Amino acid sequence: MQLTQVRYREFFREPEAVFWVFIFPVLLAAGLGIAFRNRAPDVTSVAVVNTDSAAGRTAEALRQSGDIEVSLMSDAAAAEALRTGDVALVLVPGGKAGVEYRYDDTRPESQVARLMVDDALQRAAGRRDPVPARERLVHERGSRYIDFLVPGLLGMNLMGSGIWGVGFAIVDARKKRLLKRLIATPMSRPQYLASFVLSRLTLLVIEVGLLLGFGALVFGVPFRGSLLTLAGICVISSLAFTSLGLLVSSRVQTMEGASGLMNLVMLPMWIFSGVFFSASRFPEPLQPFIQALPLTAVVDVLRANILRGAGWQVLAPDIAIIVGWMVVSFLLAVRLFRWR
Amino acid sequence: MHHPAADIALQVRGLRKAYQDVVAVDGLDLEVFSGECFGLLGPNGAGKTTTIEICEGLNTADAGEVIVLGRAWNRDDRELRQRLGISLQETQFSEKLTVEETVQLFRSFYRAGPSSGEVIAMVQLGEKAKSRVGGLSGGQKQRLALACALVGDPELLFLDEPTTGLDPQSRRQLWGVIEGLKSAGRSILLTTHYMEEAERLCDRVAIVDHGKMIALGTPRELIAALRAEHVLEFALADSAVVDEVPLLGIEGICASARRDGTYRLQVQELHLAMPALLGELRRQGAQLAELRTHSATLEDVFVSLTGRHLRDE
């Protein structure tokens, strides 16, 4: 159909749009993937304040245990190092009164250091563990940050291209009075709106293929679910965001207005929907709101499918949320849409 | 002229439209006959665009009746859209598409009509067929708009200010195209605030002001109604004032008006009136600073009806 073809041409002749939709997410994935690549287990740095001769012995005992890097410092220097994050914990030997740990209990690495240092000290002092323990280390693909990130980026990209791609094109046409000119022809209005949906669906193939292909080839992100299910999820999600884009742009007259409104719609989802970190980190009272956001549902479904291989039955509740957004926004958009 | 109903392409009766605080159209009646080019001439803000958009079915009237090609909006929209060609004021087509692609897109909306190549040739854009719309000049864009109005082989064409903002050369080129359409027997309703355009293109002209029709007829009839073939304007040195009564006594001078220090006389036989006028001014001791004369135009008709110029607003 001519209208859909026009959409492609307009899109591909806009180099910036091609960059933001196709290339940017891949670059973002690459950047974050490298930044958060799996490193060797962290070495914990602690400072021992050299109050007396016992300090030297304590430091030596800690060094024996491996994994802990120990520096002897004056009281002031140790406080400074703790403040700047150079050490995770400061240990003050106190002779017979035992030791004092100084650390910030909101810093995870300080808590780890507290446990490791205490453990090493107690063992050095002769503690014996009543339960023997062995260790077997597991590095599983699918549990790394990049594995978590790629489905999140995919969801974010589906949202961005759906809302921006449709919204800007429509508001631009309205501002140029092209919409008005089009309805002065026998063109069918539903077909016009459908052309946006159709063109999105085809561009989707490239968009999803590029990002996931990159994730799979470069970072070895596993695909545990059926690819057909994944394709279905992408189509439904994209339709939902395209409908949302239609709704956002159904009345706005200026680009500035459109831009503001789109950001208003997308900002909560960028923040709350768990693209970069798990949405469950937000406080409990916010959760019903967060879970109802379309991007939260999309990202959850994508992760469940890609990382855990979940099928339709498991995904059904989230899919229902996505479909709900799609239907409601589409119907509202059609009702509110202003052609002039 | 009496026309049977079948020969009327567009009929408007008692049209009224008010926006929040302004009455844009105030009881307008129009009839456009099949095969004629009818012009709505008036200054900006006269209600021309509101009128034409109501006729195009893009705006709704508060009161009145509009019958287009024997049909009514809200009942026969689908069919009407197929049979009308519309060019709006200031439509910007997508800059990323070529001329050909734009015309093809519009062609795809219509059941029947000429090929996109034919239409592009009709508006003399053949050389630009493969160019992007963004690179076209103002005149070329207007001709593209016209091409998009022609793709459905329309029986009735609405052109809203087709040449506004164009340089004289582009305007003349567009006039040539529209004249070609006229000779093909299409009915055309066009709005304009250029009197030359109305004089050259229109079979009949309605002059509108403040949403009302103040004159109707062929350009020739309207000018003839002035009872003066010429307009003579003069201004005096030091903005001096003359007594107008003796001027009107001169043979051939039918009317006189003064505005911003310029006297404006409607004159029938210029060759007789001119020497007498100069004699009279000398007798009154007035020093001429400026003297101009031109053949009467629709502009003069508008001025004599309203006391204002078309392009004042």
ipTM: 0.80
Query: Which residue segments constitute the domains of chain B, with CATH numbers given?
Result: 5-223 (3.40.50.300), 227-295 (3.30.70.980)
Chain length of chain A:
340
Q: What separation in angstroms does the CA of A17 have from each of A2, A22, A237, A247, B155?
A: 21, 8, 20, 21, 41
A300 in a domain, yes or no?
A: yes
Query: Is residue A301 in some structural domain?
Result: yes
If asked whether residues A205 and A313 sit together in one domain, one would say yes
- Tell me what pLDDT residue A236 has: 93
Calpha distance A251→B151 (Å, rounded) = 29
Contacts of B268 (CB under 8 A, 6+ apart): B227, B228, B229, B230, B252, B253, B254
A160 lies in the same domain as A268: yes
Considering the domain architecture, whether residues A228 and A196 belong to the same structural domain is answered as yes
| pLDDT greater than 80 at residue B61 | yes
Structure tokens at A60: 């030596």
Work out the angle between the directed axes of helices A189-219 and A145-175 (0-180°, nearest 10).
Answer: 150
Distance from CA of B105 to the nearest CA of A (A): 6
* Judgement on whether residues A291 and A212 belong to the same structural domain of the protein: yes
Residue A108 included in any domain: yes
Cβ–Cβ under 8 Å, residues B85 and B156: yes
Mutation target vs A (from B80, B90, B92, B159; most A CBs, 10 A cutoff): B92
Is B295 in a helix, a strand, or coil? strand
Question: What's the pLDDT score for residue B313?
Answer: 41
- Predicted TM-score (pTM) of this structure: 0.74
Residue B1 pLDDT > 60: no
Give the residue carrying structure tokens 């287009």. Answer: B68
Q: Are residues A225 and A268 in the same domain?
A: yes
pLDDT digits (tens, 9 = 90+) for B269-311: 888 888 899 988 888 888 888 899 888 888 888 888 887 777 6
Q: Which domain holds residue A49?
A: 44-124
Domain shared by A81 and A202, yes or no? no
Within 8 A of B109 by CB-CB distance, chain A residues are: 185-187
In a domain, A129, yes or no: no
Which amino acid, residue A86?
A: D
C-alpha to C-alpha distance for B10 and B33, rounded to whole angstroms: 7
> Which residues, in sequence order, are CB contacts of A194 under 8 Å at separation 6+?
none
Q: How far apart are CA B220 and CA B301, in angstroms?
A: 11
Looking at chain B, which residue has its C-alpha nearest residue A177?
B91
Nearest-angstrom CA–CA distance, A87 and A44: 8
Which amino acid type is present at position B26?
D
Low-confidence ranges of chain A (pLDDT < 50): none
A183 and A239 together in one domain: yes
pLDDT in tens, B178-229: 998 888 888 999 999 888 899 899 999 999 988 889 889 998 888 888 877 8
Range scoring the smallest mean pLDDT among A2-6, A320-324, B19-23, B96-100: A2-6
C-alpha dist (Å) from residue A230 to A143, A147, A220, A226, A305: 19, 15, 17, 6, 7
Nearest chain B residue to A182, by CA: B106
Whether residues A92 and A17 share a domain: the answer is no
Region B126-149: mean pLDDT is 90
A290 is a domain residue: yes
Q: Is residue A147 part of a domain?
A: yes
Contact A156/A270 with Cβ under 8 angstroms?
yes
> Over 80: is that where the pLDDT of B30 sits?
yes
Interface test with A, best of B96, B111, B119, B132 (most A CBs within 10 A): B96
Output the pLDDT for position B2: 53
Q: Are residues A226 and A299 in the same domain?
A: yes
In B184-234, alpha helices (H): 195-201, 219-224
CB contact under 8 A, B84 and A184: yes
Q: Which residues of B touch A173 (CB under 8 A)?
A: 94
Residue A32 has which token pair?
A: 């974050």
Contact B88 A187 (CB under 8 A): no
**Residue where a domain terminates, one of A124, A157, A185:** A124
pLDDT at B4: 55
Nearest to B293 by CA among B234, B228, B242: B234
Cα separation, B271 vs B278, in Å, equals: 12
For testing contact with chain A, the best of B97, B108, B150, B157 (most A CBs within 10 A):
B108
* Token pair 């009136």: residue: B273
Between helix A227-248 and helix A255-272 the angle, nearest 10°, is 140
Type and span of the H or E element at B142 = helix B138-150
Residues A312 and A232: their CA atoms lie apart, in Å, by 10
B162: closest CA among B298, B153, B173, A265?
B173
**Is residue B214 helix, strand or coil?**
strand
Domains in chain A, number: 2
Q: Are residues A277 and A179 in the same domain?
A: yes
d(CA A174, CA A249): 10
* Alpha helix segments (H runs only) across chain A: 2-12, 15-18, 24-35, 53-64, 75-84, 108-124, 145-175, 178-183, 189-219, 227-248, 255-272, 287-292, 294-308, 312-336
- Averaged over B238-244, what is the pLDDT? 82
SS3 state at B109: coil
- Residues in chain B, overall count: 313
* DSSP symbols for A180-198: HHHHTSS--HHHHHHHHHH
Select from A124, A158, A182 the last residue of a domain. A124
Task: Mark whether A58 and A30 lie in a shared domain.
Answer: no
Is A130 domain-assigned?
A: no
- Is there a single domain that holds both residue A16 and residue A58? no
Q: Using the beta-carbon criterion (under 8 Å), do A184 and B88 form an inter-chain contact?
A: yes
Let me know if residue A135 belongs to a domain: no
Query: Does residue B157 have a pLDDT over 70?
Result: yes
SS3 content of chain B, % helix, strand, coil (to 5): 35, 30, 35
Question: Which of B19, B73, B75, B21 is CA-nearest to residue B49?
Answer: B19
Which CATH number covers residue A79?
Answer: 3.40.1710.10
